[in-house]
Amino acid sequence: MKIFNAREIREWDQYTIRHEPVSSIDLMERAAGQCVHWLEENNLVNHSFKIFCGKGNNGGDGLAMARMLSQKAHDVAVFILEFGHLGTEDFQVNLERLHQCAGVEIKFIQTEQQFPSFENKDTIIDALFGSGLNRPLESVTAKLVEHINNSGCKIIAIDTPSGLPIDHSAEGEKIIRANHTLSFQVFKLSFLLPENANFIGEVHILDIGLHPDYYNSAETHYELVDKKIISAIYKPRSRFAHKGNFGHALLVAGSYGKMGAAILGAKACLRSGAGLTTCHIPKCGYEIMQTSVPEAMVMTDFNSSIITKIEEDLSKFNCIGIGPGIGTATETRKVLQEIFEVYKKPVVLDADALNLISSDKKLLNKISQNSIITPHPKEFERVFGETKNDFERIQLAQQKARELGLVVVLKGHYTCIASPDGKVYFNNTGNAGMAKGGSGDVLTGILTALVGQYHDTIKSAILGVYLHGVAGDIAAEKYSKEAVIAGDIIENLGEAFISIPVRGNEEDQ
- Residues 275-285: pLDDT tens digits? 999 999 999 99
Pairing between β-strand 372-373 and β-strand 407-410 as defined by DSSP bridges: parallel
What's the CA gap between 300 and 286, in Å, rounded? 7
Q: What CATH number does residue 287 fall under?
A: 3.40.1190.20
Is the residue at 509 inside a domain? no
347-349 and 319-322 beta bridge pairing: parallel
User: In the structure, what pLDDT confidence band is assigned to residue 444 with cuts at 50, 70 and 90?
Assistant: very high
156 shares its domain with 202: yes
* Claim to verify: residue 112 and residue 242 sit in the same structural domain: no
Domain end marker among 168, 188, 220: 220
- pLDDT tens-digit series, residues 253-279: 999 999 999 999 999 999 999 999 999
Q: Does residue 289 lie within any of the structural domains?
A: yes
Looking at the fold, whether 191 and 300 belong to one and the same domain comes out as no
E strand or H helix that includes residue 280:
strand 276-281
Residues 319 and 202 in one domain: no
The answer to whether residues 177 and 34 belong to one domain is yes
Tell me which residue of 413, 416, 368, 415 sits closest to 396, measured CA to CA: 416
Q: Kindly compute the dihedral angle of the four CA atoms of residues 392, 417, 157, 150, in this order, to the nearest 10 degrees.
A: -60
Boundary-marking domain end, from 220, 255, 280: 220
Give the total residue count for the chain: 509
Q: Where is the domain boundary, 189, 220, 251?
A: 220
Q: pLDDT at residue 385 above 90?
A: yes
Quick one: 210 and 180 in the same domain?
yes
Partnered with residue 80 across adjacent β-strands are 53, 108
pLDDT band at 504 (very low <50, low <70, confident <90, very high): low
Quick one: pLDDT at residue 508? 38
Q: Are residues 9 and 144 in the same domain?
A: yes
User: Is 149 among the domain residues?
Assistant: yes
Tell whether 215 and 250 lie within a shared domain. no
- The CA distance from 182 to 173, in Å, is 21
The CA distance from 182 to 198, in Å, is: 15
Give CA torsion, residues 306, 311, 317, 323, to 10 deg. Answer: 20
Q: Is residue 504 included in any domain, yes or no?
A: no
- Indicate the angle between helix axes 377-384 and 390-404, nearest 10 degrees: 60
Q: Across the chain, what does the average pLDDT equal?
A: 95
**Band of the pLDDT at 5, cuts 50, 70, 90?**
very high
- Cα gap 155→163, rounded to integer Å: 14
Same-domain status, 209 and 265: no
pLDDT at 119 (0 to 100): 93
Q: Tell me the pTM.
A: 0.94
Q: Is residue 67 part of a domain?
A: yes
User: By C-alpha distance, which of 383, 251, 392 is closest to 310?
Assistant: 251
Q: Tell me whether residue 505 is in a domain.
A: no
As a whole number, mean pLDDT of residues 109-129 equals 96
Over range 448-473, report the average pLDDT: 97
In a domain, 406, yes or no: yes
**Predicted confidence band at 507 (pLDDT cuts at 50, 70, 90)?**
very low
Residue 161: the pLDDT is 97
> How many degrees, rounded to 5, is the angle at CA 268 between CA 266 and CA 270?
70
Count structural domains, the chain.
2
What pLDDT digit, counting tens, does each position of 230-245 carry?
Answer: 999 999 998 999 998 8
- Residue-level pLDDT at 451: 97
- Is 508 a member of any domain? no
Do 181 and 232 fall into the same domain? no
pLDDT score of 509? 38
Domain, as residue range, for 17: 2-220
Confidence at residue 505, expressed as pLDDT on a 0 to 100 scale: 43
DSSP 186: S
- Alpha-carbon gap, residue 126 to 105, rounded angstroms: 16
User: pLDDT digits over 279-308, tens only?
Assistant: 999 999 999 999 999 999 999 999 999 999
Q: State the Cα–Cα distance between residues 456 and 461, nearest whole angstrom.
A: 9
Residues 192, 249, single domain; the answer is no
pLDDT in tens, 148-172: 999 999 999 999 999 999 998 998 9
Cα separation of 234 and 504, whole Å? Answer: 11
Q: Is 103 helix (H, G, I), strand (E, B) or coil?
A: coil
Segment 320-329 mean pLDDT: 98
- Check whether 103 has a pLDDT greater than 90: no
Cα–Cα separations (whole angstroms), residue 264 to 271, 284, 333, 380: 11, 16, 22, 22
State percent of the chain over pLDDT 70: 99
Q: Let me know whether 84 and 189 are in one domain.
A: yes
183's CB contacts (< 8 A; 6+ apart) are 131, 159, 160, 191, 203, 204, 205, 206
- Beginning with the edge strand found earlier in the chain, give each strand of the sheet holding 222-224 in spatial order: 2-3, 222-224, 424-426, 416-418, 407-410, 372-373, 347-349, 319-322, 248-252, 276-281, 297-300
Contact predicate 30/20, CB 8 Å? no
Domain CATH for 200: 3.40.50.10260
